[in-house]
Amino acid sequence: MHLKRLIIAIIVVPLLYLAVMKLPVIYSCWLITAVAALGLYEFYSMFRLHAVMKYLGIAWGIGLMVASFMSLGNMFNLYLIAALMFLALRLFLSRDPESSMLHIATVMLGLVYVPGLLTFQLNLVMRSPQWIILLYGSVWAADSMAYYVGKGIGRHKLYEAMSPNKTMEGAVGSLLGGILGAVLIKYALVAQLPVVKALILGLAVGAATIIGDLVESMLKRDAGVKDSGIIFPGHGGILDKIDGVTFAGPVFFWVCLALKVF
């Protein structure tokens, strides 16, 4: 398992870095959109959503991402339109009203949880690719530190009902990893970012990464699945890989605004 994680990281991380830093921004936007589409597919599949609602939801999610990076319209209105559309669709898909609330809630939560949260990454990469590298580098450092500290010295359970393997020691590792990752990438790529602000960003990312991981664990337990998918051997699915960054992206963006680093 450890070897598979390492091999995937060695292959994927350099490719992502080159794609984000060397190619035009539009390619990064389409890459994030593709991740959103795959993540939505996994989310709707976990909760066994009706095929018509699932694929229409994925199409709408892609539309939300496109509208976001093209700055088309008010995103709140697009979510309201989606709610109206899926309410009407569920009405005519089945004459049985049972579970209609569950179906509508699932499709709408998916649109918020995956493309909704990932639109913040579009905003970051359109401002400058260095911000998305700083975000992902901090999240990966936080996630890695949490994993290895938890495995090595973890003794006290963090939230056993949601994720029995996570420990308080691992959570501290996540905070330290987020700080370390942010500071290292600050010196490598974002020279204009003051050290103190990098420390604050790293701490915020480390904390958000923990919450994002636990939230996905909660959703998977409710759905009765171990992994969201099997796209990455040894890693699970797309959602398993972006669980931390889905939450960390908005937090990172909001903290950047608060610190006036843009």
Rg over alpha carbons for the chain, rounded to the nearest Å, is 19
With beta carbons less than 8 A apart as the criterion, state whether 122 and 105 touch: no
Largest CA distance in the chain: 60
Q: How far is residue 145's CA from residue 92's CA, in Å, rounded to a whole number? A: 49
Res 187 pLDDT > 90:
yes
> According to the model, what pLDDT value does residue 1 have?
45
Task: Identify whether the C-beta of residue 51 lies closer than 8 Å to the C-beta of residue 30.
Answer: no
pLDDT at 73 over 70: no
| Better-scored residue on pLDDT, 29 or 235 | 29
Q: How far apart are alpha carbons 46 and 43 in whole angstroms?
A: 5
Question: Is the pLDDT score of 249 beyond 50?
Answer: yes
Surface-to-core class of residue 199, CB atoms within 10 Å of its CB (0-12 exposed, 13-18 middle, 19+ buried): middle
Per-residue model confidence (pLDDT) at position 35: 94
Name the token pair of 191: 């020279």
Mean pLDDT of 107-113: 97
Tell me the percentage of the chain whose pLDDT exceeds 70: 92
Mean local confidence (pLDDT), 122-126: 92
Lowest average pLDDT, out of 125-139, 151-165, 196-210, 217-231, goes to 217-231
Question: 51 near 69, Cβ under 8 Å?
Answer: no
- pLDDT band at residue 2, thresholds of 50, 70 and 90? low
